[in-house]
Structures are given as C-alpha cells and as structure tokens.
Structure 1
Amino acid sequence: MSDAKEYQQVVTDTLNKFKKDYQNLSKINIVIAGKTGIGKSTLINAAFGQELAETGIGSPITDKINFIQAEGFPVQIYDTVGLEMSAVSQWKSLHAIKELIRSKRKTETEADDIHCVWYCVNASGSRIESQELKYIQQFQKLRIPVILVLTKSFSRVEADKLGAEAQRQLPSLEFVSVLAKATDSQGAFGIQELVELTANKLPEALQTSFSSAQKASLLLKRKQGVKVINSSIAATFTTGFVPIPVADAPLMMATQSTMLAKLTVNYGIDPKTNQIETAIAGALGIFAALSAGKTTVSAALKSLPGVGTVAGGLISGSVGGAMTGALGYAYMNLMEQVALGKVDLSAMSSTQLTELLTESINQLTNQFLNK
C-alpha cells in the first residue's frame, strides 16, 4: 500500500473510531428533585449547553417522575414532581424515587444505575424545610451521591448561609449556590462548580461521558483531555522501546489515532454538524510530515529533545512521546476553540487546519522551551 493510501486509511479509521465512541458513550442517570418553579429546567439547560429540558423527549415513568432524554446524548434526567403538594403526594414522590433507584440497581450494568441526585431548593426562601432535609437523608441512606443545589441564589451570601445550615444538620451533605441565568444586575454563577462536583461523584468509567455532555466547565474537559494525552504519551513511549524506522511511522500513528478520537469525543463535538475529518486529517498530517522530514513546523518544535533528528532515522520512545504530546495539546486547543464556537471546522480546509495546529504546536513548544 502506498504512503498516501496508508495515511488516508489511518484518517478514515480515526474518523470511524470517533463516530463509534461518540455513539456508544455510556449513559449517566441523574435524578433532579425539588418543588415546581425552582428553576430545574433552566439548571439543566445551563449545565448541558442545550435546551435539553425543552427539546429532549419527555416520557412519564410514573405520575411522579418524568424521564428526559435526547437522541445521542449521554445524560438522562429523571425529573420529579409532587414535592410541593400534600403529605400523601410528597410521600408518593419520595417512594417513586426510591423505587426507581432500587430497580436500577437490579441490573449488573453500572451505566443503568442512578449516579447522582440534584436536590434543588429555592435559595430566595428564608429556610430549608426540615421535611426536605429528611428526603435528602433518605437518598443518602441508599448510598446515592446527593448534591443540594440552591437555585435562584440572587444573594450568594444568603444562599451560602442556607447551605451551611443544611450542612450543620447533615454534615456529609455538599451544596452549591447557583444562579443559572444572569439577571440585569448579576451574572450567572455556580453551574461550573456544580458540574465539577458532580463529576467527582461519578465512577471513573463514566467520566468521559459526563465530560463530553457537560458544557459548563472547560476545566473539566481539559482535565479529562490531559488524562487522554498522558496515556497516549505513555503508550508511544512503550512502543518506542523498540525504535521504529521512520518509514514505518504509520504503525505509531495508531496511538495518535486513538488519542485524537478520544479528545474529539471529550469535547462533545457532534459529527453531524462538524467537519471532523478535516481536523483529524490535519492533525495526523503533521505527525506524518514530521516523521518524513517534510514538515513546515518551525525549528522550535525540532528543538524538542530528539525530534530534530527524526528524518531518515528512528522514532524512539522519547521522540515519539514528545511528538504525541505536542500534537495532543495542539489538537485539544483546537477542539476547545470549536466547542466555544470560535472555530468552524466546516469552513476550513485540511491545509488551513494543519497551519492552525502547527501554529499552536509552535506556541506550546516555545512555552516549554522558555520555562
């Protein structure tokens, strides 16, 4: 197979790998409890960056629980009703949630479980009702992570006081004061903190799914992205204990391929609305060109230990790791710009993206060398 065909095959395989991983993200199940009118829909939409509460398909599980899901989206919401009504209605709502949690645990699949409860209380009230603290305690007894979400926190100081009082009565309870939608006089806050706290409660196997789904915290996406890059660097280094001839560089590209696919999934880039293939082709093109000694990357990158001597020689573990790391961080920066809406992949050619990634690599390398 010619070098061009082999390279194109790697690009195609990477694209297919990304689409498969994106479609097969594990599901995360969150119960959102609280009285009507406390801003649950606004909270959901702010956390996940889309009108999920409005556009998601809602279907009643019981008369007390409504199930919200969107096609291809890994987070599933169980929204409860009836907590503001009579004592009998409240008991039925609590019973329905507890039965839901128990029924989900009957399967052996971790993705079927209820993974977290967001218990929402309107922070503009003067107190948290003792009955609501009892509900929270019931969920805690079922060993479900519970986060008290103080919505409509127009006064963060007062909201934090309410949360501190709840913690005094339930010491293990964690809370977040949130203003999900900005007002004329105050900016939104708390959503990023809520998302990051929720991520810490989830099993490791679900971290990628949640990082991909949430849109409130770039920090969370970066942390997950760094894990992917470090793992890829380690894999490349291990491969390089037996130095690979430059002519066989596509063999090492399998690691970069997996890394690029995982980074793209991590940033929640929808393949239906983004020209992902050009980004992948541009990124892999840098590695292929550098290996062949044809790269336009400046001398800054070649100043990394061993990289400047690749052409015509061998790719060792340290060299491959340096190249993989540089490529990974540059691609992660690109995905971040796409997620923020600052880069439109569909409007750029593979060559333009290669130049953009090259510039990013040079900037990252200069930062590394100037430390």
Structure 2
Amino acid sequence: MENMERGNVLVIGNSGVGKSTLINAVFGEKKAETGWGTKGTTVDLKIYESKIIPFRIIDTIGFVPSFIKEHKAINAVKKWSKNSAKEGHEDNKINVIWFCVEGTTSKLFPETIKDLSRATSMWKSVPVIVVITKSYSDPEREKNIKMVNNAFAEQKRYSKNLAKIIPVVASTYVLNDTAFAAPQGITELIDSTNELMPEGIKAGKKDVFTFKLNRKRAFAHSIVGTCTVLGVTVGAVPVPFADALILAPIEILEINKLAQLYEINKGEDSKQFLNSIIEVGTVSIAAKTAISALKAIPGINLAACVINAIIAGGIVAAIGEGSIYAFEKVYIGEKSVADIDWVKKVMELRLSSQFIEQVTLIAKKITKMDNPKDIGKVITDLLAIVFSVTDNKKTVER
C-alpha cells in the first residue's frame, strides 16, 4: 500500500504522557524512544511506518507547561502542516489525530485543548481520537472518559471533531505484589483509526485546499489594495475624469495578476472571461452610471481631484473584489470560464446602487486625507467588508 493511500496519524499531547510507549505498542516493536518523567524524549517530529500497520504515524514533541514561552510542539506541527500544502508534499497531510491524555490525571485543563487547537489549526475537519494513556482500572476509565467529554463539550472548535475516546494500557503495569494492569485498547485504537481513515483522507484534502484558498485570498486582497492605491493616484491627477477608460491599464494589470494567482487558464475561453470583466469596469453602462452618480454627490466639500481619486479607487477596488469572487468560484469548480453572462452580472452588481452608496459614505468620511495611500486603504478595506457581506446574501451565481 502506498503512503498516500495509508494516510497519516498525528500523535500529540503533553510531554511525558506516554506517546512513544503507545507508538511502540501499536507497532509491536520498539520504534520510538521512550523515557520517564515530564521531559519527554521526542526532540523533533518523526515518522514511523511498517508493512503491518495500514497507516503512518507522526510523533510530535510534547506540549510543555504554559509558563514556558517556547511552544516548540505547536510550532513544529504548524510548520509540518504548512509544508504539507506545498507541491511534492501531498503525502504528508494529517488525516487522523490521536490526542493523548494521561489517565492518572483528574482534570483535563482547557489550556491543553487550546494547545491542540493552536497546533492543528489547519486541520479543521480531521477526526480526533482521544487516547487515554496509563488508564489502569475500570473506575479510572469511566472518570477519564467523562472528564474528556466534559472538557470537549466546552470547546466548540473540537467538539465536532471528537470521533472516539479510547482508554489504553500500552505496556504491562505492575499495581502491587499481586496485581497488574495488562495491555489493552491497542487493537481497538488501530481498528478505529482504520475505520476513520477514509473520512480522514477526504478531510485532509479538504483542509489543505481550504488553507491554499485562504492564502490565495490574502494575496488577492493585497493585489487589490495595491491597485486601488494606483487608481487613487491616477484619479487624483488634475485632468478631466470623464469615464473609466483612464483606469483600464490598472484594471487589466489587477485582473491579470488575480487570474494568475487563481490559476485561471490562458485559453480562448479564459481570455473572453477576463475581457468581460474588463469591459464592465471600463465601457459598461454600469461603470458610466456609477461615475455620473458619484460626481453628482451633493453636500461634500472636497476638491474635484479628491472626488476623482475616490471614484477611481472605488471602481478599481470594486472590480478587484468582484474578480476575487468570480475567480474563486472558478477555482473551486462551482463555475467555469465559459460562464460569461454570469461573470458580467457579478461585476455589474459590484458597481450597482449599493456600491454608489458606499463610495458616497467614504467620500463623506474622507475630509482631511491628502495621501493617496491613505485614501486607497480606506476604500479597499470598506468595500472588502461590504462585498464579503453581500456575497453571503446574494445568489447571483444561480
């Protein structure tokens, strides 16, 4: 079985909780180095696999008390997670998480679950199995399971991810001269992990895709912000601002950079798709109507060049935010570059009456700003908020 089919299990928990002993018990041989006390023995993330176990195991550095500022475990897992989204590292996705909790403790501190949440923040869909280590007696197990359920019920982030709670004894533990706790729970842990793995593999792919999409979105807003400042700068030049054609070079640059970011293909359909967006922002009735309406804003004591700058920046920002919305729909497969009529409607909506209202409000707020960068940032931030809200309410894509 190939690594990608096997999937990966992340083993995580406080230092000294018994992760290495657990891993050795699962493999039936000494794979991980074990030790006593709270220091722990894993100094870096390590990968273990065998031909017998149908998944790989990623062992992590243990969490340390919160008063220690170095969060090596959290940082190591986050670094691994981000690298798994890079090309060539697809087989490193995390598919199931074993969150190890020591059975000899009487309380699962919220900080420990927060550490888990911080370390695995990228894996929002991946199932979690809480493994209660050193769980030596039935009464203790009942208390531990109740403790885990109560702790997770208070944590919205992970309550939905909790798939199983499995108490285990990883190696024989002598209780006294006449009694001992025999190994148990290991087979159940392997079987449960195997059952969850198909779901976990889908979840891992989904979470990596979401991570990439969020990164693209952040870069995209940066592109729009830069182009908005350029638009404001061009608009502020003391020349007649009759229509949106003056912004065409900036819009073309903005749209092409965003298309490249969202991996929009360069075929004929793509060109037509991109040209439709440019047309709406430059020669469309929507663009001309927006400019006419904004130039006639009553009661604003601003110089003509400042008004022009606000209008120019607003249009560039609106076209940019609209392009992000359209390109994301294509990127996630909900739309294609053949949907020309749809993208025109999306972009026209960006220059509708709501856009005019928002830019009017911006113009009324900007009374003492002379720096185009300041004006551009205000426009980008406000329109990004407006459009993110309207995208959730409107169903143009249908």
With the shorter chain as reference, the TM-score category is 0.3 to 0.5
Return the structure number with greater relative CO, CA threshold 8 A, min gap 6: 1
Calculate the TM-score normalised by the size of structure 2: 0.41
Query: Which structure is larger by alpha-carbon Rg, 1 or 2?
Result: 2
Calculate the TM-score normalised by the size of structure 1: 0.43
